[in-house]
Amino acid sequence: MEDKQQRFMDDRPTPSMDMPWDLTVGLRYNLNRFNPMHKQKRINMTTGLEFNLTPGWKVDYRAEYDVQRRELVYHDFSFYRDLHCWEMQFDWTPSGIRKGFFFVVRIKSPQFRDLKIEKRSYGGSAVGSGF
């Protein structure tokens, strides 16, 4: 007769969890009573997901949602690439008041960190150097 415990054992291999990741979820409640006649109450939910796509690529997503208004306050993406002595970062906010992007390639050494190429575009204006 087969052992009951053995009958429920799964012979399939366990999925690999080698890709490091971090998930955060938060709830923020804010009550402003500065003006007693007009109280302001806000409830926002924040989320974040960060993971290493490969040993050299890091991806980060952040979002904030207004629970009362039922609307997305903001969300943005960040991509980072380790290029040995150099590093590359691309931040993108697809919508909202902070809509735009930031791109930079710089030397990783602290002494030469100001040596970089960057480009940014926020709110319809573009500022940058090197492109």
Residue 15 is assigned to a structural domain of this protein: no
pLDDT, tens digit (0-9, with 9 covering 90-100), for 68-96: 999 999 899 999 999 989 999 999 999 87
Residue 2 is assigned to a structural domain of this protein: no
Residue 10 is assigned to a structural domain of this protein: no
| For residue 109, pLDDT beyond 70 | yes
Sequence-separated (6 or more) residues with CB below 8 Å from residue 129: 117, 118, 119
Residue 7 is assigned to a structural domain of this protein: no
Cβ pair 116, 107 in contact under 8 A: yes
Q: What is the arithmetic mean of pLDDT over 106-113?
A: 90
Q: What is the DSSP string of 44-99?
A: EEEEEEEEEEETTEEEEEEEEEETTTTEEEEEEEEEEEEETTEEEEEEEE-SSTT-
Element housing 5 (H / E): helix 4-7
Residue 111 is assigned to a structural domain of this protein: yes
List the domain range (segments joined by +) for residue 46. Answer: 20-129
Residue 6 is assigned to a structural domain of this protein: no
Residue 13 is assigned to a structural domain of this protein: no
Query: pTM for this structure?
Result: 0.69
| For residue 5, pLDDT beyond 70 | no
How many domains, the chain? 1
pLDDT of residue 7: 57
Residue 25 is assigned to a structural domain of this protein: yes
Query: pLDDT higher for 55 or 103?
Result: 103
